[in-house]
Amino acid sequence: GRGVYRESHSGGASTPVSGPQHPRGGWMARFEALAAIAELALRLEPLERLLSHAVRRLARVMGAEFAGILELDPHRKQLAFRAQFGWPPAVAGKARIPCGRQSQEGFTLLASEPVILEDLQQEKRFRGSSLTRKYGIRSGLSTTIDGEAGPFGVLAVHTRQIREFTTDDAQFLKAAAGILASAIRQDRTAQALRESDARMRAIVTTAVDAIITIDERGIIDSANPAAERLFGYDRNELAGRNVSVLMPEPYRSEHDDYIARYLRTGKARIIGIGREVIAQRKDGTTFPINLAVSEFRVDDRRMFTGIIHDLTDRRRLERRIIETAEAEQRRIGQDLHDGLCQHLTGIAFALQVLSRQLAARSAPEASAAARVQEMVDSAITQARQLARSLQPVEVVGGGLLVALKDLAAQVTELFNVSCVCRAGRRVEVVDPAVAGHLYRIAQEAVSNAVKHGRARSIVIDLQVAPDQVALAIHDDGIGLSRAAHDGKGLGLRTMAYRAHLIGGHLNIRPGDRGGTSVTCVVRKPGIGVTSTTEGRHGTQSRRRNPEATSDSHRG
């Protein structure tokens, strides 16, 4: 190992030495001292208590009047007492010992090994600090305490009388310094963890979004204050309960199966992805949220963290934007009906009179005037259809179904494509907001199929049950562009907003036989009424749409 250095009085050079065992504390006493220090370290006693005990025990077993643990400052220019024995507390608390050759402790840091001081008055390697000179220090022994990225500081013992410290003394002190170095590193690691935990607790506690952790059974482990405010529960009410208590039906009943399926197959519909779903407060009210779920492990336990952002304000803003747009559509539709249509009707009457006059005189222009009149009549029909399509859906006596059938008829007539609406004879959507938004979704989907998909055949399928409405639009076109599938088109974003506003899920995907399939499923208790009687327009209304089983909101 490394040598132990003391000053040679004859030549002044630092030479390794060894000497006989000093008659101070025997090897058993020293072994017991090291064991006691190590025991305190293993018991994770507070560091200050451990350091104070160590300097007292080392001073006693080595027969020294003074002992100290000095910590190196961040700038590595001076040392300060972290623990002391024998030094007056007031003096030791203020003392700063310089590094380098101005002190034994500083020289020890340079040597990186134990340093023996035989007699300070004869010392040539360093001057000695003002503190050691003030208290008449003559002999001493010091060694470094290692840190993570360099020395932590110095462990030293001193006497006022000249004493011969041996290499055995130095190795004993070095062993003690090794135990203390391990304890200091352990304490700093624990302190870093405590600070990290404190920061994380502060972040979680002050977060605007709700944060909830659950175990692999779906049992809530913790909830932050934002979650309490959002859901109306006290955290003690939530702890130990299944997280499904924060979901409305039918998602509440399906949630445990979703977790079990994920644990069994590893296939997640929401973990690591994030999705907009519906949540439920303590008072039973529901509201839209964005839920981002991540997985982590604690020992051998799988845990999940959910970050929940309330979308109520965003949905309210989106609703206002859409309502404003619809109001503008109604205004334009009214202007078309009252202005352009009336103006065209006047032109049509004038052309009719002109046509009759030209025919009475057998003028050759009579046939041309008649053709112009037919064109104006066609323009009037188209303008009235456009005006009607811009008006809100009247949900009275199956208003949504009637509106969808009219939409299909208009598309067939205007664009010369096959567009049919299929549903039962008696299909009613009770909620007027749901009916209105579903109609606009169908209108946009049909428009995209004709304009962008170049479809020749379109099917509008409406299936209504007491707790669910499923609207599907299928076409045989060329399919939407990648930008459209990614939701970047304005019309597609509007459809998605409308679906979210009514608590539905919009799915746009390639059709099974080509073209595009647009499906919107809304699941709410008491949303609709249906009949088992099959109507002349299509299939029996209780036929279950495959998309109606969508579990996008689960989890």
Yes or no: say if 211 and 306 are a contact pair by the CB < 8 Å rule.
yes
Quote the pLDDT of residue 533: 42
- The sign one gets for the Cα dihedral 548, 491, 502, 289 is positive
Asked whether the bond before 250 is cis by omega within 30 degrees of 0, the reply is yes
Q: Where is 463: in which H helix or E strand?
A: strand 457-465
Does the pTM of the predicted model rise above 0.75?
A: no
106 φ, ψ (degrees, to nearest 5)? -65, -40
Assign 3-class secondary structure to 55-118: HHHHHHHHCCCEEEEEEECCCCCEEEEEEEECCCHHHHHHCEEEEHHHCHHHHHHHHCCCEEEC
Cα separation, 341 vs 330, in Å, equals: 15
Give the per-residue pLDDT at 524: 76
Write the secondary structure of 296-332 as one string of H (helix), E (strand) and C (coil).
EEECCEEEEEEEEEECHHHHHHHHHHHHHHHHHHHHH
At residue 542, the pLDDT reads: 36
Which pLDDT score is estimated for 518? 95
User: Residue 483 has what pLDDT?
Assistant: 39
Number of Cα atoms under 13 Å in the Cβ half of residue 484: 19
Structural Rg of the chain based on CA atoms: 43
pLDDT at 487: 45
Contact (Cβ atoms closer than 8 angstroms) between residue 126 and residue 102 = yes
Going residue by residue through the chain, which has 555 residues, state the pLDDT in tens, using 9 for 90 and above.
445 655 544 333 333 333 333 446 688 899 999 999 999 888 878 999 999 999 999 999 999 999 999 999 988 899 999 999 999 988 888 899 999 898 999 999 999 899 999 999 999 999 889 999 999 999 999 999 999 888 999 999 999 999 999 999 999 999 999 999 999 999 998 888 888 888 888 888 888 999 999 998 889 999 999 999 999 999 889 999 999 999 987 778 778 777 888 777 777 666 666 788 889 999 999 888 999 888 888 888 888 999 999 998 888 887 788 778 778 877 887 777 778 888 888 888 888 888 888 888 888 888 888 888 888 888 888 787 777 667 665 544 457 888 888 889 988 988 889 999 988 656 678 788 888 889 889 989 998 899 888 899 999 999 888 888 899 999 999 886 643 544 456 678 888 888 888 888 889 989 887 899 999 998 876 777 765 443 333 333 333 333 333 333 334
The neighbouring-strand residues paired with 214 are 220, 304
Please give the pLDDT value at position 541: 35
Angle, vertex CA 320, rays to CA 319 and CA 326, nearest 5? 90
Length of the chain: 555
DSSP assignment letter at 161: S
Cα separation, 358 vs 223, in Å, equals: 85
208 φ, ψ (degrees, to nearest 5): -70, -40
The helix or strand, by DSSP H or E, that contains position 135, with its residue range, turns out to be none
Nearest partner of 333 among 407, 388, 377, judged by Cα: 388
**The residue type at 507:** N
DSSP 467: T
The answer for residues whose C-beta is within 8 angstroms of residue 102's C-beta and 6 or more apart is 126, 127, 129
Tell me which amino acid residue 203 is.
I
- Residue 133: left if φ>0, alpha if ψ -120 to 50, beta else—which one? alpha
The pLDDT, as a whole number, for residue 391 is 66
Element (H, E) at 53: helix 47-62
Residue 512 in tokens: 């099974």
Q: Quick one: tokens of 108?
A: 């020890």
What is the helix (H) or strand (E) element at residue 134, kind and residue range? helix 130-134
Q: 443 and 405 in contact (C-beta within 8 Å)?
A: no
Beta bridge partners of 158: 66, 140
